[in-house]
Structure formats: structure tokens, C-alpha cells
Amino acid sequence: MEGSAAETERSFSLQLSPDVRSFPVAVFTPRSVPGLEAEPAEGGFLSGDDGDECGALSDSLSRLRSPSVMEVREKGYERLKEELAKAQRELLLKDEECERLSKVRDQLGQELEELTASLFQEAHKMVREANVKQANAEKQLKEALGKIDVLQAEVQALKTLVLSSPTSPVAELPPAGKAPFRKGHSRNKSTSSAMLGSQPDLAATQPIVRECREVDSQLFAEFKAWKEAPTLDRSCSFLERVYREDIHPCLAFNKSELGSAILDAVEQNTLSVEPVGFQPLPVVKASAVECGGPNGRRAALVTKCALSGQTKTCKHRIKFGDSSNYYYVSPFCRYRITAVCNFFTYIRYIHQGLVKQQDAEQMFWEVMQLRREMSYAKLGYYKDQL
């Protein structure tokens, strides 16, 4: 009986899972029940009543053991399910966190790329703007230098106008082939002093000549009509006459194409006339000779004049606008050009309203004085600085 109980207990313990084995289970054997000890009957077998009681006890023990094992299995299964659910929830949270961090990483990467691209674009824009500003500054500097030269020429022209105004004395050019008039008495070396004393002085008997002027009614009417509505259009009667009688003849050079270009530049106020410097000039021919120098005299070049085509001493050169090409001109050609420039400078001042202190007649005589200078220049008279 003891052997059967031990084997039953062993087989029951083997059928339980490892988790169930850890729980303490009270195993009762018929021998361990108090008051159930029975003495063996004869021949080593229990009586019938004793066997029924043992069977009933075994059934009750089986009924006690079976619910406990099922409960343990269910509890273990429930606990495993809870742990699995908990692990799944944690895994889901970690997946969500990883996905969120991935989105943050992608967003930061995109923002970094956009920021880098914008910085590069801004840098390129700043460099481009700096280059444009530098180019504009260089252009303005070049234009300013050209305007300075033009303004210097205009200042010189204004000085000439002020000195040659009707209120100031004007020096007249002496007629060709005649000696200038001298005041006082002159001696004739072929006669004696006694004879001179008895004869009248020829110089004293010569008539005194004074400069006179009279307003031409037709010219003055044309000028007044132009002054009422000043314009630089050559189609008006006043400027058309000046072009025909003075400007075109004054700028009629052997090199007609260059003369026409000079007239266009004078009209557009883009012609520059400057003295020859001391620096080496690449356009000068090898046969040219440089005159003057540090002793104070103006520099000059003995070379071919670009307008007359003759070899002359050229002290000035001209250029058109921002061009880097220079043309060397002789003093005679330069004086003809400046005479036309002085006329255009004065009528521009009238057109811009800068001449306000003179009446119409004074302006008219100022214009006539400038026309006379152009007439002298086209006839070959000119003034040269030593």
C-alpha cells in the first residue's frame, strides 16, 4: 500500500509543470490519516470495510488535488498573459518613440539642408551685390573724372565769357600785314631834327578808330524768338543760321568723318579736350618727339594732327565719352573746337536758366562775341598758350 501511494505521488508530481511543482502540496497516504491505522488481517489483507474506507479517502484526496492544480495553471497562464501584454505595450510605446524620433531627425535634417542652401544663396547674393556695387563705383569714378575735365573746360569758358563781356574791354586782333597803332611821336631817321620840328607829325594826323556795333534786327528777332522757348534743336531759325554760317565752317577739317564725330560729341556734351601729359603714350608714333618737360612748359608732341593730317606740335588731345582712344590735335584745330564748345556752353546755360542777370540784348551781344570767335578761328586766327 505504501509503495502504491509513493508511485501515485511520484507520477502526479511528474505530470505537473515546473511552476506547479514549486508549490507545496500536502500528500496524504492512508497511513498518515490519524485513527486510520489498521492492523493487517490474517494473511496480510484488509477487511472489506477497511478497503471501502480507504477508497473513499483516496477519492476525496483526488478531488482536493485536482482543483488546486487547475487553479495554479490558470493563474500561471493569466500571469504570463499579463506579462506578454505588458511587454507588447512597452514594445508598442518604444516603436512609437522610435518613430517620433525618426520624424524629428528627418525634420531637423531637412531644416539643416534648407538653412545651408539659404546661407549659400545669401552668400552668393552678397558677393554678387558687392561686385555690382564695385562695378558701379568704378563706373561712377570714371564718369566723375570725365565730368571734372568737362567742368574745368566750362570754368575756363566762363572765365573767357566774363572777360569778353560787353562791360569789359575786348582786345582786338591786329589786322594782317599792318603794324599796330602806337601813341606818341615817331622820328624819321632820314631827316634832320630841324626839319622834323617844322613839319607836322604824320602819326598825329591819322584818324582815331573806335569800335562800333549795331544790332541787326533780323538776327536779334531770331534770337529773341529762340530765347522765349530755348531749345537745342538745330531746326529753329536761330540755331540753323549759326550752324550754317559758323559751326559747320569752323569744324570743316580735312578729316570730315572725325569732324562730324566731334560735332556730335559737342552736341551731346561728351567731348573731352585735355593737355598732353608727361606719361608715355602708346598711340604716339616712333617718329614723334616730346617737347617741354619739368621746366614748367606745357608738354607737347611733334606728330601728325588727327584733323588736318599735317605734322604739327600737338599740345592737346581729344577723346569721345568713355572711349580710351585719343586723337592728337594741333593748337589751330584745338582753338576751332574750343570756340564751338564755348558757344554751346553758353546756349546750354541759357537753356537751363542759369543766365538770369542779363537782358536779351546783353545775351545777344554775348552770342555775337562767341560767333565772332568762331569766325576768327575758321579764318585762321587763334590764341595759343606759351
Q: Where are the domains of the chain?
A: 71-163, 217-280+300-379
Name the 3-class secondary structure at 275: strand
Pairing mode, strands 300-304 and 289-291: antiparallel
Position 104 scores a pLDDT of 94
pLDDT for the residue numbered 20: 43
Residues of the chain with pLDDT under 70: 1-67, 163-206, 278-300, 357, 385-386
- Which residues partner with 300 through β-bridges? 291
**How many angstroms separate the CA atoms of 21 and 47, rounded?**
36
Classified as helix, coil or strand, 312 is strand
User: In the prediction, which pLDDT does 238 show?
Assistant: 92
User: Strands, E, within 110-201: which ranges?
Assistant: none
Taking the C-alpha atoms of residue 78 and residue 315, their distance in angstroms, rounded to an integer, is 117
Are 30 and 2 spatial neighbours (Cβ–Cβ below 8 Å)? no
pLDDT in tens, 8-27: 454 444 444 444 444 444 44
Q: Which pLDDT does position 201 carry in this prediction?
A: 52
What is the C-alpha to C-alpha distance for residues 57 and 63, in angstroms, rounded to an integer?
10
pLDDT (0 to 100) of residue 93: 93
Q: What is the pLDDT of residue 7?
A: 52
Using DSSP's 3-state secondary structure scheme, residue 313 falls into strand
Distance CA 149, CA 354 (A): 20
Identity (one letter) of the amino acid at 161?
A: L
Q: How far apart are the first and last CA of the chain?
A: 159
